Amino acid sequence: MNISIQNSITQLGAEFVGSTNEATIDAVAIDSRSLQNSATTLFFALVGPNNDAHSYIKDVIEKGVQYFVVTHIPRGCEGKANFLIVNNTLVALQQFAAYYRSLFDFPVIGITGSNGKTIVKEWLNFVLSPEYNIIRSPKSYNSQVGVPLSVIGINEQHNFGIFEAGISTIAEMEKLEAIIRPTIGVLTNIGSAHDEGFASTEEKIKEKLRLFDRSQILIYEKNNAIDALIPSTIATFSWSCTHTDADVFVTKTRNASNTILSVRQAKGSFEVSIPFLDEASLENAISCLLVLLYLNYDVATIQTRMALLYPVEMRLQLKNGINNCSLIDDSYSADFQSLKIALDFLESQKHSAKKTVILSDIFQSGLPNSELYSRVGQLIVANKISRVIGIGETISQFQNQFENCITFKNTAEFLAQLDQLNFENETLLIKGARSFQFEKIVAALEEKTHETVLEINLNAISHNLNFYKSKLQPTTKMMVMVKAFGYGNGGFEIAKLLEYHQVDYLGVAFADEGISLKNAGIQLPIMVLNPESTSFSAIIQHELEPEIYSLKGLKAFLKIAEQHNLHQYPIHIKLDTGMHRLGFEAENIQELIHTLQENQRVVVKSVLSHMATSDAEEHKAFSLSQIRLFEELSSQLIRELNIRPIRHILNTSGISNFPQGQYDMVRLGIGLYGVSNDREEQKYLENVSTLKSVISQIRTIPAGDSVGYGRRFVAEKPTRVATIPIGYADGIARLWGNGVGYVTIHNEKAILLGSVCMDMLMVDVTEIECTEGDAVIVFGESPTVMEMAQKTQTIPYEILTSISQRVKRVFYRE
């Protein structure tokens, strides 16, 4: 990209305030934490419901950026940089991208639909890449912000584009249409995702179709409901397995490991083999097939390429590695755009200062190799990577573009040398194109444990955090509770993500939890809810902040503060307003005030209380009385001690039910992890944790035989039984056994047979096509933790925090 600031001012209709508008910019950024080449970057200060990038501009100027698109010049920044002032910075970003797109004239495929967008995009890229230099959306960048950023990635060498567009409500698609301006439209499966954003399915389909307003052709599966809504001005190329009047009629024949599609169209018939059996993959494959037909590919080429379609893995996974390393597994793609995203993730999740990147040859950037690898080199320097291991013939030739770099011709050569490379105490990004089979590297470096894993979706955590943030006043601070190992999900990784999102405080139950976070490099302030007096010294040593809930505790802490000669050490005063667990009661307040008066050893950083029934409508009056008492007691402290503490009382359900009690901060817990007490609110949260295992063994037993301890299940008919290696020692309640609960195997429910054992459980797979080694979902989307809690007479909190530490945690980001 090379766009002059002059031109940008014109395109955005911006008012310019600054000293020079002579420069040319070659990059766009929206995030102060992931800047690449600062001096020639145009920074758009986006304003979200709870995050305003204007407040980071000072930092961004310090990092060397000189050009900003803003709605106003933040105080203190006048004269320090150049500003393009607009009414709305998101609209400006979209206008900028639309203008940039208009400078290019090549075929562009625009993909939308409820499911399958990313897979269709990746597959189209795969089948078309031998003929074209393709620019495509990285990962699933398909939103109002993601689409402009994707399109801005186009450069002069590209001659084909593939972009996906996702919407959640009306009036969004026309904006994306203007940016993508697809010449070829692909509509994938329409499901129920985002239904809540639309008045009806019809409205949703109409909105999606707006992406194709100016396309030369729309490729879609024929369907009466959709046909009725397609404007007559749009030319179509349709397929179907049921409507014989579609342009392409497809019949499927499933074999053991592939499906033969018989394709019938006006020009004749042929067959292709697809290496998938499931319905969704076949639909996505047929969408790709129609694109190839539309682009006049010959049958032989179509057959060869479609037979090579592969499972698409779009996630960046964070895993524990050998020798105290952690691994970011991105072993499925290597293009420049997604490298940027992966390096960002590496920075946000690094466990140790040492960062290593293992990188294969990079494909399809559209740039000449010398320029490409020089840019990659710059990216590596900007991200302060300690060492680079290049694998592949091309990257080996450009070894001199990297500092501290060694290279190998291929993956096998690298694996043969693995032992000499001394991977230890570092965070590794493993990023390679599919053909390099970097999954072998991941397998070699991954810590080995058993096959049950708890997968944690970091995007979902970010989503849930933003959902609750959007319920707060802009000035309300947020403490996030990461006690009990992040409600069972993970300590450091989640804390790191929260730090990235700039929450204000973390809360833990005990000092040792806080110490391990601090030792792992977390810099956010951490409040310890239940500090034992024996841990006070350690608390001070690690700069943790104790909650003080009794005079005894206060006096003990003051004594230690005296010994350490502390001055104004932050403490948090807990008031008991009705929970009757910990805290000062009304009758102790005078003595508390007396003890704190004139004391310079400590400073009351915050005053808090905790609600007992914020989730229960029937106890609303009690909750309100707690808030009233909190108001009274905290006001007394503030008045008589003449202090300005942060006040906070609300937990997750308090945030939802008592907005009047937000005070200066709230304490978010269970909601972050995707669980709400409210059915309606639950719909807006995303599932965070999925407990996965595999089938160890399958057998068929005759009628009359029993399964498990105590013979509590006796088969009435021949029954196929699968054994799963997870039991009550891993946190699966015994109440879930004996026909109460189920697991999900290939999207179908398999009911638990007999009692849950310590390390195993058995399920009924009589009606489910499956084999040993197949994946099993113990909880996640189905069953949900909520459902499990209900049927086992407990609460989601207990289920999440009971998953044993022997279950490996794997974190991923989409």
Site track for ligand PLP across 290-309, x = CB under 6 A: --------------------
The strand pair at 405-408 and 387-391 is best described as: parallel
Residue at token pair 């794997």? 810
* Min CB(579)–ligand PLP separation in Å: 9
Give the residue with the Cβ less far from ligand PLP, 85 or 529: 529
CA distance 136 to 338: 10
Q: Is the dihedral of CA 749, 803, 514, 517 positive or negative?
A: negative
Choose one: 294-302, 662-670, 698-706, 726-734; the region binding ligand PLP (CB under 6 A): 662-670
Site track for ligand PLP across 447-486, x = CB under 6 A: ----------------------------------x-----
Choose one: 293-301, 661-669, 695-703, 798-806; the region binding ligand PLP (CB under 6 A): 661-669
Q: State both tokens at 627.
A: 């808030």
Site track for ligand PLP across 670-689, x = CB under 6 A: xx------------------
Give the residue with the Cβ less far from ligand PLP, 651 or 719: 651
Catalytic pick from 267, 310, 559, 709?
709
* Min CB(510)–ligand PLP separation in Å: 12
Choose one: 140-148, 343-351, 424-432, 667-675; the region binding ligand PLP (CB under 6 A): 667-675
Residue at token pair 């010449």? 183
The helix-helix angle for 299-306 and 117-128 (nearest 10°) equals: 120
* Min CB(614)–ligand PLP separation in Å: 8
Residue among 482, 494, 502 nearest 811 (CA): 494
Give the residue with the Cβ less far from ligand PLP, 496 or 610: 610
**DSSP state, 40?**
G
- Is 254 known to sit in a ligand binding site? no
3-state helix, strand, coil in the chain (%, to 5): 35, 25, 40
Instruction: Please report whether residue 669 would count as binding ligand PLP according to CB under 6 A.
Output: yes
Instruction: Please report whether residue 667 would count as binding ligand PLP according to CB under 6 A.
Output: yes
Residues 6+ away with beta carbon under 8 Å from 621? none
* Min CB(768)–ligand PLP separation in Å: 36
Q: What is the largest CA-CA distance in the chain?
A: 93
CA distance 358 to 419: 15
Give the residue with the Cβ less far from ligand PLP, 32 or 609: 609
Give the residue with the Cβ less far from ligand PLP, 86 or 529: 529
| Burial class, 204, CB count within 10 angstroms (exposed 0-12 / middle 13-18 / buried 19+) | buried
Give the residue with the Cβ less far from ligand PLP, 134 or 494: 494
Give the residue with the Cβ less far from ligand PLP, 14 or 675: 675
Give the residue with the Cβ less far from ligand PLP, 272 or 481: 481
Choose one: 56-64, 361-369, 666-674, 719-727; the region binding ligand PLP (CB under 6 A): 666-674
Choose one: 97-105, 241-249, 663-671, 722-730; the region binding ligand PLP (CB under 6 A): 663-671
* Min CB(414)–ligand PLP separation in Å: 45
Strands (E), 255-321: 259-265, 268-274, 316-320
| Burial class, 53, CB count within 10 angstroms (exposed 0-12 / middle 13-18 / buried 19+) | buried
* Min CB(638)–ligand PLP separation in Å: 20
CA distance 175 to 148: 10
CA distance 282 to 280: 5
Residue among 759, 703, 698, 750 nearest 727 (CA): 759
Instruction: Specify whether the CB–CB gap between 611 and 605 falls below 8 A.
Output: no
Catalytic pick from 350, 483, 605, 692?
483
CA distance 109 to 158: 13
- Is 758 known to sit in a ligand binding site? yes
Residue 389 phi/psi, 5-degree rounding, is -115, 110
CA distance 411 to 442: 11
Among 238, 331, 652, 744, binds ligand PLP (CB under 6 A): 652
Q: State both tokens at 506.
A: 């973390």
Give the residue with the Cβ less far from ligand PLP, 415 or 509: 509
Give the residue with the Cβ less far from ligand PLP, 665 or 757: 665
Terminus-to-terminus CA distance in the chain, angstroms? 26
The strand pair at 742-745 and 748-753 is best described as: antiparallel
Give the residue with the Cβ less far from ligand PLP, 340 or 610: 610
Instruction: Please report whether residue 665 would count as binding ligand PLP according to CB under 6 A.
Output: no
Interaction with ligand PLP in 486-545: which residues (CB under 6 A)? 529
Site track for ligand PLP across 49-88, x = CB under 6 A: ----------------------------------------
DSSP reduced 3-state for 137: coil
* Min CB(482)–ligand PLP separation in Å: 10
Give the residue with the Cβ less far from ligand PLP, 305 or 610: 610
Q: Is 100 a catalytic residue?
A: no
Choose one: 122-130, 303-311, 440-448, 665-673; the region binding ligand PLP (CB under 6 A): 665-673
Q: Is 505 a catalytic residue?
A: no
List beta partners, residue 691: 454, 779
* Min CB(529)–ligand PLP separation in Å: 5
Position of minimal CB gap to ligand PLP: 669
Strands across the sheet with 108-112, in order?
A: 134-136, 160-164, 108-112, 184-187, 217-221, 236-240, 248-254, 259-265, 268-274
Choose one: 359-367, 550-558, 668-676, 718-726; the region binding ligand PLP (CB under 6 A): 668-676
* Min CB(652)–ligand PLP separation in Å: 3
Residues touching ligand PLP, count (CB under 6 A): 10
* Min CB(542)–ligand PLP separation in Å: 20
Instruction: Specify whether the CB–CB gap between 664 and 476 falls below 8 A.
Output: yes
* Min CB(803)–ligand PLP separation in Å: 16
Residue 522 phi/psi, 5-degree rounding, is -70, 130
* Min CB(654)–ligand PLP separation in Å: 8
Residue among 119, 244, 245, 255 nearest 188 (CA): 119
Q: DSSP string of 641-683?
A: HT---EEE---HHHHHH-GGG-TTEEEE-GGGGT--SSHHHHT
Q: State both tokens at 323.
A: 């020798």
Residues 6+ away with beta carbon under 8 Å from 721? 698, 699, 700, 701, 707, 753, 762, 763, 764, 765
Which H helix or E strand runs over 208? helix 201-209
Catalytic residues, by residue number, are: 483, 709
The residues of the shown chain that bind ligand PLP, judged by CB under 6 A, are 481, 529, 610, 651-652, 667-671
Residue ranges of the annotated binding site for substrate are 581, 758
Residue ranges of the annotated binding site are 581, 758
